[in-house]
């Protein structure tokens, strides 16, 4: 396991900000379907708080997890988006598939924006009578201003105009199988203007609720070693709630399970155990999260630390999953990850 460098060698401290690696893009940036360039786009930002509308009424939100949640099998690495939880409320859809949470409709745009990319995930499942069936969800990338982007996930019933827009001649399409087994199609180079408060879709009821996250392409995250190994929000995430007006930020912050703590997904502390460790030779597959492992604070930020072991990491004697502990205040038995330095051997109780 290695914290990787630009050339595939172990890193000792470079944060990837040394300049461009080619073309006009900064060295830390890797293009992806949702964000294809780090360059600022029009319109430019005229305020630090461009988000002026709540995506849903605040009473529709049960609680929000801070950045940094993980769950091998879907996200083995700490995530750069927030899981917005709504009330658990079972229902059966028109195909006979059971939903697990309340349908929230509409989920609205928090600002004027441009839809620049869209992804559709088609999942295979079973109906309540045991028949094979599928359902779909959408993930969308919105450009707000300058270098600021938003992501929403776990929506369905998106506007039909968007589904027409992806058929445009300049749109790039890529389809494959996602790491969670879904059939995925991604469309880039879309340009659909959206007004603040405009309907984006419906929280599908298939998961906890819906996701929201923000990316600022002007810089990598502070504690992401080798940011170019990752794409978009996985290397350049920022706290989306800081982009809301103060009144709305306060309402959303009160819903965070670590109150008013946005969390973070970047824990790569140089010359320590802390952070993401990529499987050797797999730098170009950093996005395949279950190949890798991460050592970092639990997303509750209550002092608990966790090993998040990818389901495909194939570590002898250590099955994929979550392993948590409370660190000792000193010594190398159950230490804090940031306390373990190069050439030291630490022991952790199973």
Q: Domain range for residue 96? A: 22-256
**39 falls within a domain:** yes
> Closest by alpha carbon to 36, among 49, 23, 45, 46?
23
Mean pLDDT of 329-336: 97
**57 falls within a domain:** yes
Cα 19 to Cα 336: distance, rounded to the nearest angstrom: 33
**CATH of residue 35:** 2.70.70.10
Q: Is the pLDDT of residue 7 over 50?
A: no
The per-residue pLDDT for range 26-50, each reduced to its tens digit, is: 999 999 999 999 999 999 999 999 9
**303 falls within a domain:** no
**262 falls within a domain:** no
Q: Is the pLDDT of residue 21 over 90?
A: no
The per-residue pLDDT for range 253-266, each reduced to its tens digit, is: 999 999 899 999 99
Based on the structure, what is the number of domains in the chain?
1
Q: What's the pLDDT band for 4 if we cut at 50, 70, 90?
A: low
**246 falls within a domain:** yes
Q: What is the dihedral of CA 115, 210, 302, 259, to 10 degrees?
A: 80
Mean pLDDT of 214-243: 97
**241 falls within a domain:** yes
The per-residue pLDDT for range 143-154, each reduced to its tens digit, is: 999 999 999 999
Cα 148 to Cα 40: distance, rounded to the nearest angstrom: 8
The region of weakest confidence among 16-20, 57-61, 147-151, 159-163 is: 16-20
Q: Is the pLDDT of residue 296 over 60?
A: yes
Spacing of C-alpha 195 from chain mean position: 24
**295 falls within a domain:** no
**298 falls within a domain:** no
Q: Is the pLDDT of residue 350 over 90?
A: no
Residues 6 or more apart whose CB falls under 8 angstroms from that of 330 comprise none
Q: Is the pLDDT of residue 15 over 60?
A: no
Residue 290 near residue 73 (C-beta atoms within 8 A): yes
Q: Tell me how far CA of residue 228 lies from CA of 47, 117, 172, in angstroms.
A: 28, 20, 22
How big is the chain by its Cα radius of gyration, in Å?
20
Residue 243 near residue 214 (C-beta atoms within 8 A): yes
Answer whether the bond into residue 43 is a cis peptide, omega within 30°.
Answer: yes
> Closest by alpha carbon to 187, among 212, 168, 213?
168
């Amino acid at each position: 396991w290695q914290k990787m460098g630009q050339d595939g060698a172990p890193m000792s401290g470079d944060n990837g900000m040394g300049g461009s690696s080619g073309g006009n893009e900064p060295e830390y940036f890797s293009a992806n379907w949702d964000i294809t360039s780090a360059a600022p786009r029009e319109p430019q930002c005229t305020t630090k708080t461009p988000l002026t509308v709540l995506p849903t009424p605040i009473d529709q939100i049960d609680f929000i997890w801070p950045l940094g949640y993980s769950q091998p099998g879907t996200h083995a690495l700490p995530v750069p988006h927030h899981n917005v939880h709504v009330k658990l409320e079972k229902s059966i859809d028109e195909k006979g598939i059971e939903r697990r949470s309340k349908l929230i409709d509409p989920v609205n745009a928090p600002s004027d924006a441009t839809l620049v990319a869209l992804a559709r995930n088609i999942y295979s499942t079973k109906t309540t009578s045991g028949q094979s069936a599928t359902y779909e969800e959408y993930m969308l990338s919105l450009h707000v201003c300058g270098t600021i982007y938003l992501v929403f996930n776990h929506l369905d019933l998106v506007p039909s105009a968007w589904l027409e827009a992806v058929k445009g001649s300049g749109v790039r399409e890529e389809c494959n199988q996602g790491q969670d087994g879904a059939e995925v199609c991604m469309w880039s180079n879309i340009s659909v203007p959206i007004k603040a408060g405009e309907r984006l879709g419906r929280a599908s009821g298939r998961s906890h609720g819906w996701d929201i996250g923000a990316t600022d392409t002007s810089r990598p995250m502070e504690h992401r070693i080798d940011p170019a190994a990752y794409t978009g929000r996985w290397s350049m995430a920022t706290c989306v709630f800081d982009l809301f007006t103060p009144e709305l930020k306060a309402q959303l912050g009160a819903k965070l399970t670590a109150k008013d703590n946005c969390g973070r997904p970047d824990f790569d502390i140089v010359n320590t155990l802390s952070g993401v460790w990529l499987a050797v030779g797999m730098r170009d597959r950093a996005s395949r999260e279950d190949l890798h492992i991460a050592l970092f604070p639990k997303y509750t930020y209550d002092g608990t630390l966790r090993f998040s072991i990818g389901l495909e990491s194939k570590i002898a004697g250590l099955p994929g999953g979550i392993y948590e502990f409370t660190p000792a205040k000193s010594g190398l038995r159950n230490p804090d990850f940031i306390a373990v330095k190069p050439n030291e051997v630490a022991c952790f109780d199973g």
